[in-house]
């Protein structure tokens, strides 16, 4: 409940009063950062990630490993700084760095690791609400 209130207050501050443009200029440093899990922070850019389409900045500490999970909606991302690997259930790995783009379809099991010595910063966009569903990866036979 406190997180929802914090998100609502943060969005009101960042997006302004009703009737004002929701496209406010500004960099990630000025955003309201919310800790979503230890070492992982989100900052809203537009929309409400609990309700529907949205954009957000994500910052994770160097070395953070995000376990396999899925999302109900696809998303697209751009790395701002750092290097991150995307790990897939079939064992494939892709690495992205500053300026790189990627997309992940809904329901695709994946994990991430910030492999740079600096924190990883990215921007993601989704036309649907955000969710995070842990996914158990099958053991090799």
Report pTM: 0.74
Domain layout of the chain by residue ranges = 2-134
- Beta-carbon contacts of 58 under 8 Å, excluding residues fewer than 6 positions away, are 40, 41, 42, 43, 120, 121, 122, 123, 124
Q: Give residue 136's pLDDT.
A: 81
- Find, among 64, 68, 65, the residue nearest to 136 by Cα: 68
Q: How far apart are the first and last CA of the chain?
A: 43
Buried b (16+ CB within 10 A) or exposed e, 49-83: beeeebebbbbbeeebebebebbebebebebbebb
- Residuewise pLDDT in 10s, the chain (141 residues): 333 333 333 333 333 333 333 444 555 556 789 999 999 999 999 999 999 999 999 999 999 999 999 999 999 999 999 999 999 989 999 999 999 999 999 999 999 999 999 999 999 999 999 999 888 866 554
Fold of 2-134: Jelly Rolls (2.60.120)
- Beta-carbon contacts of 10 under 8 Å, excluding residues fewer than 6 positions away, are 32, 34, 44
Q: Give residue 29's pLDDT.
A: 57
The answer to whether 124 and 55 have CB atoms below 8 angstroms apart is yes
């Amino acid at each position: 409940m406190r997180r929802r209130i914090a998100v609502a207050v943060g969005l009101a501050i960042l997006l302004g009063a009703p009737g004002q443009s929701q496209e406010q200029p500004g960099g990630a440093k000025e955003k309201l950062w919310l800790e979503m899990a230890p070492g992982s922070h989100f900052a809203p850019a537009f929309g409400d990630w609990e309700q529907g389409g949205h954009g957000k900045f994500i910052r994770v500490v160097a070395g953070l490993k995000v376990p396999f999970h899925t999302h109900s909606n696809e998303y697209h991302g751009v790395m701002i700084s750092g290097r991150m690997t995307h790990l897939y259930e079939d064992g494939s790995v892709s690495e992205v760095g500053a300026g790189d783009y990627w997309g992940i379809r809904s329901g695709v099991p994946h994990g991430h690791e910030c492999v740079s010595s600096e924190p990883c910063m990215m921007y993601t966009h989704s036309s649907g609400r955000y969710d995070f569903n842990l996914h158990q990866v099958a053991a090799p036979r």
